[in-house]
Structure 1
Amino acid sequence: MQYDWILFDADETLFSFDAYAGLKAMFSSLSVDFTPEDFAEYQLVNKPLWIQYQDGEITAKQLQEDRFNVWSERLSISPAELNRLFLDAMADVCQPLEGVKDIVPELAQKAKLGIITNGFVQLQQVRLERTGMADFFDLVVISEEVGVAKPDAAIFEHTLSLAGHPEKSRVLMVGDNAASDVLGGNNAGIDTCWLNVDAKPLPDGVVPTFTVTSWAEMRKALLG
């Protein structure tokens, strides 16, 4: 194994993240029929907020609450409560991607594993526990707790400090989002593996060490 540490993104790298399914389940519990049109409207607000969050322009709390402002007014429920209900629903619908439950234990025998996520505290640990994967990860770093998000090098430096300052040449970052995971790894001076399942184009100036299109391909690249 070329690496002593492998750091993973969480959403759409380790776990599926079907926001529509989570929102539909959450709103169903409030007796609201959440439609694809409602989801499109939600994403018009949500997606720019995520970019602002990754760029350090807003806090995790602002992102989590501002995305529910419209529904808060419609339902007379606070944005914070809607966000709590949403993350609880997501913990139920998020499942490991194909290959993860077989390959992560193999990798854990060869290297130490960690998670760096721009996701939120409420969802991360419960999801690891429910899927039986918590024991395979030596550390979980969550941007909401650290106060900076990927691709900022600071969250990577914080993680490497927690890991005991391993040699950067022996650390790999794996993620599906080139603009946060790969760029963040580039900023931190560590190798990167881009999990590009949907044949997305690379942003300008972002260069992964290698690219895979599935967990099976990743296993072959790392374990031979």
Structure 2
Amino acid sequence: MNYTTLLFDIDHTLLDFDATERAALRQLFEEEQLEWTAEREARYRTINRSLWQALERGEVTRQEVITSRFVAFFAEQGRTVDGSRMDTRYRAYLSQGTELIAGAIELLDALKGKYQLYVVTNGVAATQHARLKGSGLAPYFDGIFVSEETGYQKPMPAFFDYVFDRIPDVTRNQTLIIGDSLTADIQGGISAGIATCWFNPGHAAASAELTPTYTIERLDQLVTLLGTKEVDWTTSK
């Protein structure tokens, strides 16, 4: 299939969210005089992930996610916090995170001008726009769709309807979504009737219920998949 439009998730696909999150949590814990440990970081991530997955299923609101995650985490540490204020501080640190997945810039250099490129993300709008700008990724994209601004989130079909209503000269059968999340990106793409590419660098187990059109483990494999002219990846970090 000759694709004309590529939809990119950003966290864990183009931007290294794990590194960004770790740095933000370290800063927050230091301010709260709470020792950072790998176990505490892992526990926060478990709480946070479960809430975002509940949002994807439509069980909670975005506001409930961002105000309750730190309340729940710090309650386990024996502390009572204002979830909204804590989240505001955390997201200020998170906005500074601009570390890239290896090969991200080289990939976009190879694709820019050959495809319509768009961001589709479930992140908080102010945070995601700041990180895209700070990382240098923003200029590569023809548009950025953040769930907070659309009023819908992946994998809701309404999110993709919103996106397609705002992309000129696009057809779904010539669109490919690239992302790391089976439940948000791949499920969303399947529900929207578009091709899907699962970015799976960690060799996670596949789902029996969700079958992506393609699977890649490195970003340079997308260039090969699309048949785009090869570029020099030796500068990737």
- The question of a shared fold, defined as TM-score above 0.5 by the shorter chain, is answered with yes
Aligned-pair identity in percent equals 29
Paired letter, 2:105: K
Q: How does 1:57-68 map to 2 (within 5 A)?
A: 57-68=59-70
After superposition, give the CA deviation of every residue in 1:39-96 in whole Å (9 maximum; x if it has no partner): 2332342222111100011111110111011466666652112112212222223411
Q: Aligned partners of 2:53, 2:72: CA distance in 1, in Å?
A: 19
Q: 1:145 aligns with which of 144, 149, 152?
A: 149
Match of 2:109 in 1: 105
> Does 2:26 align with 1:24?
yes
Residue 10 in structure 1 maps to residue 14 in structure 2: no
Q: Distance in 2 between matches of 1:95 and 1:174?
A: 19
Q: Within 5 A, what are the aligned runs for 1:63-142?
A: 63-70=65-72, 77-142=81-146
Q: Which of 188, 192, 202 in structure 2 is aligned with 1:188?
A: 192
Does the 8 Å CA contact 1:94/1:127 hold for their aligned counterparts?
yes
Of 152, 158, 163, 2:167 maps to: 163
**In 2, Cα distance between equivalents of 1:149 and 1:110:** 27
Residue of structure 2 in register with 1:175 after alignment = 179
- Does the residue aligned with 2:120 lie in a helix, a strand or coil? strand
Of residues 162-171 and 55-64 in structure 1, the stretch that sits farther from structure 2 once superposed is 162-171
Root mean square deviation, CA, Å: 1.9
CA distance in 2, matches of 1:151, 1:204: 18
8 Å Cα contact 2:29/2:36 also seen in 1? yes
Q: Deviations over 1:77-134 (max 9, x none)?
A: 5211211221222222341111111111221110111011111112111111111121
Number of residue pairs matched?
A: 224
How far, CA to CA, are the matches of 1:72 and 1:144 in structure 2? Answer: 25
**Matches of 1:70 and 1:180 in 2, distance apart?**
24
Alpha-carbon distance, 1:25 to partner: 2.1
Q: How many angstroms apart in 2 are the aligned matches of 1:77 and 1:47?
A: 20
| Alpha carbons 1:150, 1:184 under 8 Å: kept | yes
8 Å Cα contact 1:72-1:79 kept in structure 2? no
What SS does the corresponding residue of 1:104 show, helix, strand or coil? helix
Residue type of the alignment partner of 2:61: T
Using the alignment, how far apart are the partners of 2:139 and 2:50 within structure 1?
35
CA contact 1:179–1:203 (8 Å) conserved in 2: no
Cα distance, 1:164 vs structure 2: 2.7
* Structure 2 SS opposite 1:115: strand
**Counterpart of 1:6 in structure 2: which amino acid?**
L
